[in-house]
Structure 1
Amino acid sequence: MSITVDKATDTASLPDRIRRFPFPFREDIYRYSANVEPANKNVSTDAGAWGKGLIDIDEFYLEELADRERILTRDPSRSQVLPHMKPAVWDTIATLLPSMAEENPEIMSFQREGNHCRWHNRLQNLDIEFTIGDDDSLPMGPLRFLGTQIQDDIVLLDIRDNTMWLDAGLVSFAADWSFGFDVGMSFLEIHHPVPRLKEENIIQRAEQFLMRLQPGEQFRRTNWTMTVGRRLDTSTETYQEWGPDRGTIATDPDMPDKLHLRVEVQHLVRLPHTGTLLFLIRSYLLPLRDIARVPTWREKFGNVLAELPEDMAEYKGIIRYRKAASDWLLAG
């Protein structure tokens, strides 16, 4: 049975994981769209707010970075850099670390003189010096190091031949896709399997928008799916570990606690020096039980699941349990 509460009195007492959650639905139906907006803009929700900065650091910071380290140790192919993309990796570091320090001055600091830099992260008791452009100056190399500092997955898209190519990245928390398979593909090739996108010309329009971004410009969008359990790594490489749960969760009495809405906040940044497109993917998980604590969220998400077209539900992998989830949410 879902939880109904008085919104006016409950919102202030909600835990951070709910108040800071980027709930993605404004209407009772959902269709694919670019839904791109300027980054660094605070978004108010019926539970709180999200989005005021580029890199979000929350209560799961150390837990998720430890999870990433386990994944990369087991499968190093989740981090790859084609040789021509090394300058873009350093451009990413020189862009993100100062931003993190500015947004979180109480826990992080960044100093740079020429190419010599010093980074201090109090959450990790880390104080390190390195040189921009010198891969050996950072442990594990620059991209792997950056992956120890931010919860976001990192994708770098090179722009050439009037299209974009996925030529570098570190992706430990893929949602039902394979970074290793997609490396070297074009933007259109990567998104080809998504239903309705080709007919509605969404991907072509999105690509043209992204290629027109000017160096330093930052935008963002949201995307969503659902995940059984608090598991960020639902890559195709590990399907055997999480895929079978899709077939049993609908009849599981603990479904409200196990079934999560998964929202990606995707930042799109045209790097200032190389012109490469940086694509950051930050994934958030919130169980149905928590969603039901915000009455408007419970109703909207329940209606979205009930109305979602079959082909979209099938592509998102939620076809077998979306009715059970919707029924539970709307029963409150």
Structure 2
Amino acid sequence: MTIQFKQETFRDDFTFSNSPEAIRRFPFPFDKDEYMYAVNIEQHMPGPVKSPFEFPIDIDEHYVSEMRDRALVLKEDPLRCQSLPHMITAEWDLLELLMESMAKNYPEHFTLTRDGDRWHWINRPLGIDQAFTFGDVSTLPQPPMEYVTRQCQGDFALLDQRLDNLWMDAGMITTQADWSLDFDIGMNFMEWHAPVPLAHDMGIFERALKFLLNLQQGRPVRRLNWTMTVNPRLDTSPENYHKWGADRTTVTPENVGDKVHLRVELQALWRLPRSNAIVFSIRAYMIKMNELVTIPKWGRRLHRVLRDLKPELADYKGLTRYRADTVAYLAKHDDGAPTSPGFFPDPE
């Protein structure tokens, strides 16, 4: 499958957009007309052809531009990539997982050949041709986690399992929705989820942790998470709040369709073979309201979700200031018709 990669930006002039094909494959996160917290974990099995669930690691038209943006973030702030010393085996596990998946499912763009510990990796979109020795850090230009995640869409956290808990002890985090790796590194599962409202009272994170502690190798799982953002900015980190926080004040009834974006994270978790760590991948997708309403079912459903969203959740997701304008815009695309169950577009 040959992908046509776009040249676009996620900062300054914000030239990011979705092609019609990218709109239809967008991972819309609502299967009904209301939203409430839930564990919503399912097996990370192959999904429909041309969907973001088709392959374990999804590469799309935004790949080259996203990798360029990641390099800019790391140049400005190297602490977006950190790893505690005991995580080096997990780093090699992650490199193997990503390279194998990318080469198997996108052979036109990536090639991996192996002769024992002698590996050869070719990344055609980024012009990389690298021979190295698996397990020998000195044979790569960066440590293995940094090297491979500079070449793969999405953020990645490596979670060490000990003391009946999961600990965020390594990660490449450059496209996060208002949280900080530098703050969270070394924290356990309950500590880094502490800011989330309502869910703790429902026992959601306790159940999720119990489930993940028993995650088996070869049986990855996934879930969708969502928020909203103004402008198609991938890096909405606390460290850069001074750059994006004021964006929320710029939404008007006239520009809401172009500036306000639904931001969805496809989150997947794998048990790694050598380290027994868990890799938590967080792949962000964005779609502006003007694009989203081209799928009538989605326009109607998102209108109802945002209209009826609990205030605590609206505050937590940072959309209170521009929620009314967004709901009013979407109301124009909601004819009151019932929406069919499920995430995928209706054949309208």
Same fold (TM over 0.5): yes
Shift of 1:120: 1.2
Which amino acid in structure 2 is aligned with residue 57 of structure 1? I
Instruction: Kindly provide the CA deviation profile for residues 215-234 of structure 1, in whole angstroms up to 9, marking residues without a partner as x.
Output: 23211111000111110000
More helix by share: 1
2:269 is aligned with 1:268: yes
Shift of 1:248: 2.9
Looking at structure 1, the residues matched to 57 and 289 of structure 2 have their Cα atoms a distance apart, in angstroms, of 25
Runs of 4+ deviating beyond 3 Å: none
Kindly report the root-mean-square deviation, in angstroms, between the aligned alpha carbons of the 2 structures: 1.3
Instruction: Kindly provide the CA deviation profile for residues 196-250 of structure 1, in whole angstroms up to 9, marking residues without a partner as x.
Output: 111100001101111101123211111000111110000010001111111231x
* Partner SS for 2:282: strand
Which amino acid in structure 2 is aligned with residue 144 of structure 1? E
Q: 1:26 corresponds to which residue?
A: 31
Instruction: Kindly provide the CA deviation profile for residues 171-193 of structure 1, in whole angstroms up to 9, marking residues without a partner as x.
Output: 00110111110000000000011
Which amino acid in structure 1 is aligned with residue 118 of structure 2? H
Contact 1:215 1:273 in 2 (8 A): no
Q: 1:157 corresponds to which residue?
A: 159
Contact 2:253 2:329 in 1 (8 A): no
Q: 1:81 corresponds to which residue?
A: 83
2:234 is aligned with 1:229: no
Looking at structure 2, the residues matched to 213 and 143 of structure 1 have their Cα atoms a distance apart, in angstroms, of 21
2:304 is aligned with 1:314: no
Q: 1:254 corresponds to which residue?
A: 255
Instruction: Kindly provide the CA deviation profile for residues 17-76 of structure 1, in whole angstroms up to 9, marking residues without a partner as x.
Output: 2022101111110111111111133158xxx73311111111111101000000001000
Shift of 1:331: 1.1
* Partner SS for 1:68: helix
TM-score computed with the length of structure 1 as normaliser:
0.92
1:92-171 aligned at under 5 Å gives the runs 92-171=94-173
Aligned mate of 1:176, from 162, 178, 187: 178
Q: Unmatched 5+ residue regions in structure 2? A: 1-18, 334-348
2:39 is aligned with 1:37: no
Q: 179-188 or 119-128, which moves further after superposition?
A: 119-128
Q: Unmatched 5+ residue regions in structure 1? A: 1-13
TM-score computed with the length of structure 2 as normaliser:
0.88
Looking at structure 1, the residues matched to 137 and 45 of structure 2 have their Cα atoms a distance apart, in angstroms, of 30
Looking at structure 1, the residues matched to 131 and 278 of structure 2 have their Cα atoms a distance apart, in angstroms, of 26
Instruction: Kindly provide the CA deviation profile for residues 138-175 of structure 1, in whole angstroms up to 9, marking residues without a partner as x.
Output: 11221221122101111000000010000000100110
Equivalent residues, number? 315
Contact 2:47 2:54 in 1 (8 A): yes
Instruction: Kindly provide the CA deviation profile for residues 273-314 of structure 1, in whole angstroms up to 9, marking residues without a partner as x.
Output: 211000001000100000010100000001000000000110
Looking at structure 2, the residues matched to 308 and 43 of structure 1 have their Cα atoms a distance apart, in angstroms, of 30
Q: 1:91 corresponds to which residue?
A: 93
Contact 1:78 1:172 in 2 (8 A): yes
What is the identity percentage for the equivalent residue pairs of Structure 1 and Structure 2? 43
Q: 1:300 corresponds to which residue?
A: 301
Looking at structure 1, the residues matched to 113 and 293 of structure 2 have their Cα atoms a distance apart, in angstroms, of 44
Which amino acid in structure 1 is aligned with residue 109 of structure 2? I
* Partner SS for 1:305: helix
Aligned mate of 1:212, from 207, 211, 214: 214
* Partner SS for 1:173: coil
Q: 1:54 corresponds to which residue?
A: 56
* Partner SS for 1:184: coil
Contact 1:39 1:53 in 2 (8 A): no
Shift of 1:252: 5.3
Instruction: Kindly provide the CA deviation profile for residues 69-109 of structure 1, in whole angstroms up to 9, marking residues without a partner as x.
Output: 00001000000010000110001111221111111112211
Q: 2:10 corresponds to which residue?
A: none
Q: 1:4 corresponds to which residue?
A: none
